Chain A
Amino acid sequence: DGGITQSPKYLFRKEGQNVTLSCEQNLNHDAMYWYRQDPGQGLRLIYYSQIVNDFQKGDIAEGYSVSREKKESFPLTVTSAQKNPTAFYLCASSIDPTGAGELFFGEGSRLTVL
C-alpha cells in the first residue's frame, strides 16, 4: 500500500537533547512538508521541500533542521535550540510541487520533552 510512514509515533526527550523524526513516502511525490500542531491549534509549517537536495523554511523553522537526500525521505531534527518542542509533528507529501495540491499525511509523531 502506498503512503507515508512516520516514526516514532511517541517520543520522549530530555531538555538539551536533539531528536530526529523520520518520514518516508512511497507515493513517488516530489513535494514533502513538515507541520507542527499544538493543542487546539491548526498546523504550522516548519520546512518544506519540492525536490531532492533542496528545502525551504516555513513559518517556524527556528530550532529545527531537515535534509532531503532521497526523494522518499524527509527527516526532521528537533534541536536543543527549539524552546518549546513538545507538540504533534506531521509529515505530508503532495504530487503537486506548486504547493496548491492535496496533501497526504503520515500518522504523526508526538514529542514530549521531560
Chain B
Amino acid sequence: RKEVEQDPGPFNVPEGATVAFNCTYSNSASQSFFWYRQDCRKEPKLLMSVYSSGNEDGRFTAQLNRASQYISLLIRDSKLSDSATYLCVVNYHTGRRALTFGSGTRLQVQP
C-alpha cells in the first residue's frame, strides 16, 4: 500500500460545479496534513492545512478522518482558475522530519 494515496484523475468538471478529492494515508501516527496546489510545470504552493476539526477557506473545505485515515478537499463553485493538480501531503514518517507527498489529483474545470 502506498504511504499517501490519491486518485490521479483527471476530474473534468464544468464551471460552478462542486468537486471533492480524497486522500488516504497508511501511518496512523501521522500528525500534520496539508493540501498543496501545483500548476503545470510550476512549484507546489500551500493551499491549506487540514485540522482535526475541519477547516474552510472561502470555497475550499478540508476535512480529516483519523479513524479511516483519510483527508478530503471540497471545492465549491469551481472556477477555470482552479484547474491544477492538488497534492495531498502528510508527515508520514514519525522518525523522519520531512513531509511525504501523494502523486496528486488533476482537476480540469471546463467553461
Contact = CB atoms under 8 A, between A and B. Distances in A.
Contact of A99 (B87, B99, B102, B104): B99
Contacts, number: 58
Contacts of A97: 97
Interface stretch (A11-19, A42-50, A69-77, A79-87): A42-50
Interface string B30-51: 0110100000011111100100
Q: How large is the interface on A (under 10, 10 to 19, 20 to 34, 35 or more residues)?
A: 20 to 34
B98 interface: yes
Given A43-B44, A108-B43, A103 B97 contact: no
28 contacts: A33-B98, A35-B101, A40-B8, A40-B103, A41-B103, A41-B104, A42-B4, A42-B102, A43-B44, A43-B101, A45-B100, A48-B98, A56-B96, A56-B97, A88-B41, A90-B43, A90-B44, A99-B91, A99-B97, A99-B98, A102-B46, A102-B49, A103-B46, A103-B89, A105-B43, A105-B44, A107-B42, A108-B42
